[in-house]
Amino acid sequence: MKRILKIGIPVIIILLGLFLWWRFYFVFGEGVKAGNLNFIVKKGYVFKTWEGRLIQAGFKTPAPGGLQSNEFDFSVANDSIGAVLERCSGKTVELRYKEYLHALPWRGMSNFVVFEVLKVADASPPATLPF
């Protein structure tokens, strides 16, 4: 019985650790999104995290004949990146992000965590109409 406990408990702890790592720290995807930065705020009761929304250009609709805005909700874990984005509200930005399977309270409320700002440009309307 003692031998089963000596082997079983470490194996269970290792399996539990691997499961938690896969569930919360495994990077499921990585990519770049570009669009107009709608807002970014620092909020939270215990863990203050940066939460933002990016409005992407283009039209995507599940029903024919309708219009839908493409919104990308994200979190920022790094305070210096959050401070940079705070001064870019209303501008066109390119953000590099990591996608996790689940969110953690100290990392943010979203599964998408921005870790780099690639480009910031003023949002300007097109110079000419397409028709």
Rounded Cα gap, residues 102 and 79, in angstroms: 21
Quickly list DSSP for 23-54: HHT-EEEEEEEEEEEEEEEEE-SSS-EEEEEE
Enter the pTM of the model.
Answer: 0.77
75: helix, strand or coil: strand
CA-wise closest residue to 91 among 32, 53, 33, 35: 35
Pick the CATH number of 27-121 from 3.40.605.10, 2.40.50.140, 3.30.110.60, 3.40.630.30: 2.40.50.140
- Mean pLDDT, 10 residues at a time, the chain of 131 residues: 85 92 90 93 92 82 64 92 91 94 90 93 68 60
Length of the chain equals: 131
